[in-house]
């Protein structure tokens, strides 16, 4: 079997997890130049910004890089569900003096599409990774057509087998500890979600393609443990969130540095899909998984004005404070330094 370095063309079998909303090209360039695989999360980027960020990566490094997309099917908006959501948030709108009628509806995240594939074809990124499944066969063939390697997140054995059967070149085992959105796509039953060290060895046994470990890996010891369980490499997100290359907000940085970061939960309140973040006021008061929240990504617009008002007052009460369960690796050092520190964990296995 090929090593992850052979598949990715990198010096290290280490992927900086794509983190939509908290990093763009600067992080990808820094990690790439330090020997890992830097990632550009594209789920929240307009085509123009995507193009300029891809150009910045090309100008900033000659190393391989990854571009990452969500592949959800956009839901049909329902005025009834939107009204239920706004009603659940109504006391908060009143508290902040927000006129609910003035809040625009609309999607907060865009899935991979034919237009995006054409844009990417101009750049031919060497690695493309997907969350929430894979795009259509035709789109995936287009991506493979320029020689890109395709990675995708699995949260269960069933999802991993599905990804392998549908063309993933390697599978990311995303354990329940992971920060940000869960990548599940075959079942929405959260009780089926496994921790990293339960999921990883099961995927290693079940798959022919290599398995990359993600979720809760925060230091060299965690890297070594994942490699000992059969991973060909690791994907790390949370540990990069305090680096100067991240665009993590001051409120989010303060939360990650505080004791609050010890308590995270899966919540659907911010986007409509379960994602792991530091527990804050709205998660406590509405319950982290709320039946009133509309489908992904439609919950985003209802909560956005509350987030804006609270943040303007210096509060993260309504912000998605994404974090994995293990924020102990978060340090205010460069992304290159985080990469080098994590790389110490490969010494036994390389
Ligand atoms: C702030 C944040 C944003 C994330 N955004 C994305 C994303 O846009 N695409 C994606 O595939 N994964 C995303 N993830 C999940 C990561 O790919 C990965 O599974 C996770 O960071 C690994 O767990 P860790 O955070 O404990 O290292 C995100 C994670 C975080 C912490």
Distance in Å, CA 324 to ligand 1 centroid: 8
Are both 31 and 119 inside the same structural domain?
A: yes
Element (H, E) at 172: strand 170-174
pLDDT above 70 (res 106): no
Domain that holds residue 211: 1-72+109-245+334-350
What residues contact residue 316 under an 8 Å CB cut-off, 6+ apart? 251, 252, 254, 255, 278, 280, 310
Are both 22 and 166 inside the same structural domain?
A: yes
DSSP lists the bridge partners of residue 253 as none
Are both 127 and 29 inside the same structural domain?
A: yes
Element (H, E) at 300: helix 299-312
pLDDT above 80 (res 350): no
Are both 295 and 161 inside the same structural domain?
A: no
Distance in Å, CA 62 to ligand 1 centroid: 24
Q: Which residues line ligand 1 (CB under 6 A)?
A: 17-20, 22, 41, 43, 68, 131, 153, 174, 177-181, 214-217, 235-238, 322, 324, 326
What residues contact residue 42 under an 8 Å CB cut-off, 6+ apart? 18, 20, 50, 67, 68, 69, 116
- CATH number for the domain spanning 123: value is 3.20.20.70
65-82 confidence digits (pLDDT tens): 999 999 999 999 899 999
Q: How confident is the model at residue 105 (pLDDT cuts 50, 70, 90)?
A: confident
Distance in Å, CA 302 to ligand 1 centroid: 23
pLDDT value, residue 342: 98
Distances (CA, A) of 144 to 81, 126, 154: 39, 9, 20
Nearest-atom index, ligand 1, CA of 177: 26
Q: Which of 46-60, 101-115, 158-172 has the least mean pLDDT?
A: 101-115
Distances (CA, A) of 15 to 27, 193, 235: 12, 22, 4
Mean residue pLDDT of the chain comes to 96
Which residue from 19, 150, 231 has its CB within 8 A of the most atoms of ligand 1, so it is best to mutate? Answer: 19
Q: How confident is the model at residue 146 (pLDDT cuts 50, 70, 90)?
A: very high
pLDDT above 80 (res 1): no
Are both 321 and 340 inside the same structural domain?
A: no
């Amino acid at each position: 079997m090929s090593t992850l370095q052979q598949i990715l063309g990198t010096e290290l079998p280490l992927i900086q997890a794509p983190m939509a909303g908290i990093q763009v090209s600067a992080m990808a360039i820094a990690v790439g130049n330090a020997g890992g695989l830097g990632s550009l999360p594209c789920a929240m980027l307009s085509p123009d910004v995507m193009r300029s960020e891809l150009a910045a990566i090309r100008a900033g490094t000659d190393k391989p890089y990854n571009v990452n997309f969500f592949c959800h099917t956009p839901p049909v908006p329902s005025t009834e569900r939107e009204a239920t959501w706004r009603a659940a948030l109504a006391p908060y709108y009143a508290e902040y003096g927000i006129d609910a009628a003035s809040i625009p509806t609309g999607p907060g995240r865009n899935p991979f599409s034919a237009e995006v594939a054409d844009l990417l074809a101009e750049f031919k990124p060497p690695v493309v990774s997907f969350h929430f499944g894979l795009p259509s066969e035709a789109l995936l063939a287009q991506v493979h057509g320029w020689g890109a390697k395709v990675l995708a997140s699995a949260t269960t054995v069933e999802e991993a087998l599905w990804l392998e059967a549908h063309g993933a070149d390697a599978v990311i085992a995303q354990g329940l500890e992971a920060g940000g959105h869960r990548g599940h796509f075959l079942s929405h039953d959260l009780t089926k979600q496994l921790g990293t060290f339960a999921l990883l060895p099961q995927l290693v046994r079940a798959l022919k393609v290599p398995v990359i470990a993600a979720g809760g890996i925060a230091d060299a010891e965690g890297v070594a443990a994942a490699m000992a369980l059969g991973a060909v490499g690791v994907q790390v997100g949370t540990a990069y969130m305090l680096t100067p290359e991240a665009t993590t907000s001051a409120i989010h940085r303060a939360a990650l540095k505080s004791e609050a970061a010890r308590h995270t939960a899966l919540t659907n309140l911010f986007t409509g899909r379960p994602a792991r973040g530091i527990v804050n006021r709205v998660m406590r008061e509405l319950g982290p998984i709320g039946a009133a929240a509309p489908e992904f990504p439609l919950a985003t617009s209802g909560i956005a004005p509350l987030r804006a008002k609270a943040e303007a007052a210096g509060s993260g009460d309504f912000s998605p404070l994404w974090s994995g369960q293990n924020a102990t690796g978060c340090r205010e050092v460069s992304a290159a330094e985080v990469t080098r520190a994590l790389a110490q964990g490969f010494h036994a296995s390389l």
